[in-house]
Amino acid sequence: MVENFSEWFHDILEEANITDSRYPIKGMAIWMPYGFKIRKYMLEIIKELLDKDHDEVLFPLLVPEGELAKEGEHIKGFEEEVYWVTKGGVNDLNEKLALRPTSETAIYPMYSLWIRSHIDLPIKYYQVVNTFRYETKHTRPLIRVREITTFKEAHTAHATKEECAQQIEDFIEIYKEFLDSLAIPYLISKRPPWDTFPGADYTMAFDIIMPDGKTLQIGTIHNLGQSFAKTFDITFEDKDGEHKYVYQTCAGVSDRIVASIIGVHGDEKGLRLPPRVSPNQITIIPILFKKGKEEVMSKCMEIKAALEDAGLRVNIDDRDIRPGKKFYDWELKGTPLKLEIGPRDLENNITIAMRRDEGEKIELTLDDDLVDNVKDLLDKYYKNLKETAWSFQSEHVKFTEEINEIANIIEAGNIAAVNWCGDEECGKQIEEKTGYDVLGIYKDAEENAKCIVSGNDAKYVALIAKTY
């Protein structure tokens, strides 16, 4: 566990060339080259998963005030966070334009034009865009930003309530697969009514535990029911000739995915990147002396080409600096596997491999099996990252039947799990009495379990946490 996580996180973003937060607008930062690559590979994964049965689109950034204000609950939830464009050059605009805080009110008026008949359904679109939220809580790079630069938002419309509920399940599976590929563990819960997305029937959320014990919501899936359909008049003619409102869902992830890759896997030496998103999956470090320099370099190039042919991302660090410094740098940057080759290794026809998660040096023979052996090490590394992260999570969810215990559990860096009857009043009392947040319903309670507040029969196990 990283001691002072907040400071560590801040430093690593700069040292590993992820983002630069010195841009002169609070809550807005620059993606630097190394971070941009991680972001790019992360997006490739989610896009690949969505592209199986969603289509990517791109909507304008600006939303007319009239549309944004149409859905009462929605605007109430967002009005304090909206940035407005009021002028075009020196002229006042006739209608204020919002920088989208999210795109329901940009997309749904168009759905109303596009959807006519049941044959137009389902419609499953997504876009990856920047959105703007004037966050009033403490901003933090990648975690709580005012320009969310990597907002993947999906919006679907369906003919029936059942299909709509199925879509929520499908999104849950997609997000699981996505996070699994990044070796990130998650807790899935149904948000309580008072923390449901503005305008939605219910919200399913993915949370992670950061090393400091605070939870971060890294993805949400909202069942919008028919509320937006009624506001934006999104109807279709059904098979029976009747005109009906569609049922809708939306789902989003953001820059927080990159924050969780960094936070969940990092250690005191720096990043530990999951192979799928690491800009370099293998870094070759030549140990160069005057004698035999060319032979070593040409062997490095040969190995690089062989690994690249197998679809791996490889770099050679041939900078004119001490090898020790190179090791240090690539540990900081979280390259999954390093291969070291010096003149003596060349004589012995070997390379020394080192996984980022283990200090052990492994001799690999430079033969036809090299590519397979390297892939095997990457696979073991990925599995170890995943297992370590999942065990950290399960060790940090602690069940209690005592309301007075909740604070101790959470202050020791954990999440508390408690029995809850499901009544809003009891849920809010938990928050008031403890000062922490009810994340949501994690699962059904066991038989005969009693609510931690009222003592009545408990329906659910709820998670309580300190949140980002």
Q: Which two tokens stand for residue 18?
A: 């992820």
Residue 227 or 254: the one with the smaller Cβ distance to ligand PR8 is: 254
Q: Indicate the angle between helix axes 256-265 and 5-15, nearest 10 degrees.
A: 110
Query: C-beta of 108: minimal distance to ligand PR8 in Å?
Result: 11
Residue 198 or 270: the one with the smaller Cβ distance to ligand PR8 is: 198
Amino acid at 138: H
Q: Which residue is nearest to ligand PR8 (CB)?
A: 252
Query: C-beta of 102: minimal distance to ligand PR8 in Å?
Result: 3
Neighbours of 23 (CB within 10 A): 12
Query: C-beta of 218: minimal distance to ligand PR8 in Å?
Result: 5
Cα 215 to its chain centre, rounded Å, is 13
Query: C-beta of 131: minimal distance to ligand PR8 in Å?
Result: 8
Residue 203 or 351: the one with the smaller Cβ distance to ligand PR8 is: 203
Query: C-beta of 26: minimal distance to ligand PR8 in Å?
Result: 12
209, 191, 187: which is closest to 265 by C-alpha? 209
Query: C-beta of 27: minimal distance to ligand PR8 in Å?
Result: 8
* Residue 293 exposed, middle or buried by CB count within 10 Å (0-12, 13-18, 19+): middle
Residue 206 CA to residue 218 CA, distance in Å, equals 6
Residue 14 or 135: the one with the smaller Cβ distance to ligand PR8 is: 135
Residue 12 or 218: the one with the smaller Cβ distance to ligand PR8 is: 218
Residue 121 or 179: the one with the smaller Cβ distance to ligand PR8 is: 179
Query: Sign of torsion, CA 377 379 383 388?
Result: positive
Triad 201, 203, 208: Cα angle to 5°: 175
Rg (CA), the chain: 25
**Residue 389: enclosing H or E segment and its boundaries?**
helix 370-395
Residue 231 CA to residue 444 CA, distance in Å, equals 34
Q: What is the largest CA-CA distance in the chain?
A: 84
**Ramachandran angles phi, psi of 54, nearest 5°:** -125, 160
Residue 130 or 166: the one with the smaller Cβ distance to ligand PR8 is: 130
Query: C-beta of 176: minimal distance to ligand PR8 in Å?
Result: 15
Interface with ligand PR8 (CB under 6 A)? 102, 133, 135, 144-145, 148, 153, 197, 217-220, 222, 250-256
